[in-house]
Amino acid sequence: MDVLDTIKQQISDNAVILYMKGSPSAPQCGFSMRASQALMACGQRFAYVDILSNPDIRSELPKFANWPTFPQLWVKGELIGGCDIITEMHEKGELKPLIDAAVAA
């Protein structure tokens, strides 16, 4: 399976997936830390992919998503955005209902 197929499968197999540097418990950059903390505050389980240990995904996902930076949050197959969007949605109270609905579906 090529990298693009792997990415598509990860996105379709997981209602909520975060592509980040490191892991939620050990993020490797401030943006990934803020994004994963906002997601964890929603109280639902979510999948993640450490792009630092997956260089092929790190190089291909920005082209596939048409989004140049990490982290990237995908919910129900749609790109939600990066750290600033995730943080803003969390602060406005918009992130938790989105995540809850995705996990419940």
**Which residues carry a binding-site annotation for [2Fe-2S] cluster?**
29
Residue ranges of the annotated binding site are 21, 29, 58, 70, 83-84
Which residues share a beta bridge with 26?
23
The answer to whether 7 and 61 are in contact (CB under 8 A) is yes
Longest Cα–Cα distance in the chain: 39
**What is d(CA 33, CA 70) in angstroms, rounded to the nearest whole number?**
11
Query: Would you list which residues are annotated within the binding site for glutathione?
Result: 21, 58, 70, 83-84
